[in-house]
Amino acid sequence: MIQDRALTKVIKSERTAGLSPDFNSRLMNRVCLESQKQTKRSSVLGLCAISGASLSLISLAIYLLKDYLTFSFHLPVFLLSRESLALYGFSFYIAFLIFILVTLDNYFRHKRMIKKQDNPA
């Protein structure tokens, strides 16, 4: 049927001036805006989902502790003797040391990442 030369000629002839010259760039701007909207929407949805899940877990925990389980909490008693103070001091020293090491690790990782981004090769 492709031999319908008159029909093919009419259909293929340019009837109008076509699209405006900046059509593609305008469209791409709208597509980029749409993409930003989608990202924002998905992050808001994610946040809502996490908040919902957390709230339901907390409510479940409260419900279970209040109505199902009947035990009372006893906080440990802190004895401030000479020996215990030395033990607390040592624990704080170890915690401080870990804190320093983790901070340094994070600092050097960050520095390395920036260096990698500047020189991808």
Q: Which of 27, 85, 86, 100 binds another protein (CB under 8 A)?
A: 27
Closer by beta carbon to another protein, 3 or else 70: 3
CA distances for 72 relative to 10, 20, 65, 68, angstroms: 88, 75, 10, 12
Question: Which DSSP helix (H) or strand (E) runs through 102?
Answer: helix 82-118
Minimum distance of another protein from residue 40's CB (angstroms): 14
- Determine if 106 is a binding residue for another protein (CB under 8 A): no
CA 114 – CA 107 distance, rounded (Å):
11
Residues forming the site for another protein (CB under 8 A): 1-13, 15-20, 23-24, 26-28, 30-32, 34-35, 38
